Amino acid sequence: MREEVPGTDLPYRCPERHIQSDKTFCLGLRYLTVQSEEKARQWWVQLDQFLRCQGVAELTRVWPVKQALDHGDAGKHHERALTLAAEAGMEEEYASARLGEPSWLTDPKLHLFDKKGSPINGRALCPRGCKRRARGRQVRTLRTNCDKRQLLVDLAYAEDLRRKALDQYWQHVFASGEKCCRTMRGCPLAAHEDQPKGDKEGNP
C-alpha cells in the first residue's frame, strides 16, 4: 500500500512515520497476505490504524508510542521484549528503559548475560533489589536464587539486541543518503544531518 502519487499528502519517505524506502506503508511486523474475507478485514483494520497514527503524527510530530514496533530487524526483538516484560509484570519499567531512562535492564556493568544471552554471575545480587527472608530478617537475593532470573535475563538480552539492531538500521539509513522530511520531532536522521561534517565522519 502506498499513496497513488507518493509525497502528495504524506512524506515521500519517513522512517519515523513508517513509510519505507520503496514508498510503501509499513502496516506491521509481518506481511499480511489477503487470501480470505477475514484477512481482508484485518488488512483494512491495519490500514485504518496506520492512517489514524499518521493524523496524530501530523498534528503532534510524534508517532503514538504504543502503536508501533521498532524499525527493521529491531522490530522482532522489540516484540519479544514487550512479551517478556508483560510476563514479568514490568511493562512500565521496560517502557522507561526503552525510552532511555536509567535502568538495570540496560546497565552493561551488571553483566547479566553472556554473548549468547545465557545468565552469568549467579552469585551477584539480583539487579532489581529483590529480597528474601533468612534467619528472621530480609536479605538481598542472589541472582541464582531469583525465581524470575531467566525471564529477567531474557528481557535484558532482548533489549540489548533491539538496541543494536536499531542502531544498525539507522546507520544503514544514514549511509543511504536519504534526506529527512523534517515532520517529526527527535528524528535520528535529522540529528545526523545537523551534525557538523567532521562529527559525521568520526573526525575530531
Encoded amino acid at 83, one letter:
T
Q: What pLDDT is attached to residue 55?
A: 97
Average pLDDT over every residue of 85-105: 94
Is 185 in contact with 142 (CB distance < 8 Å)? no
Q: If you average pLDDT over every residue of the chain, what do you get?
A: 91
Rg of the chain over all Cα atoms, to the nearest angstrom: 21
Over residues 27-51, the pLDDT tens digits come to 988 777 888 999 999 999 999 999 9
**Do β-strands 137-140 and 131-134 pair in parallel, antiparallel, or remain unpaired?**
antiparallel
Which residues have C-beta within 8 Å of that of residue 130, sequence separation ≥ 6? Answer: 140, 141, 146
Q: What pLDDT is attached to residue 199?
A: 67
Angle value at C-alpha 51, between 179 and 94, nearest 5 degrees: 80
Global model pTM greater than 0.75: yes
Say which range, 74-88, 125-139, 166-180, has the weakest mean pLDDT. 125-139
C-alpha 6/C-alpha 129 separation (Å) is 52
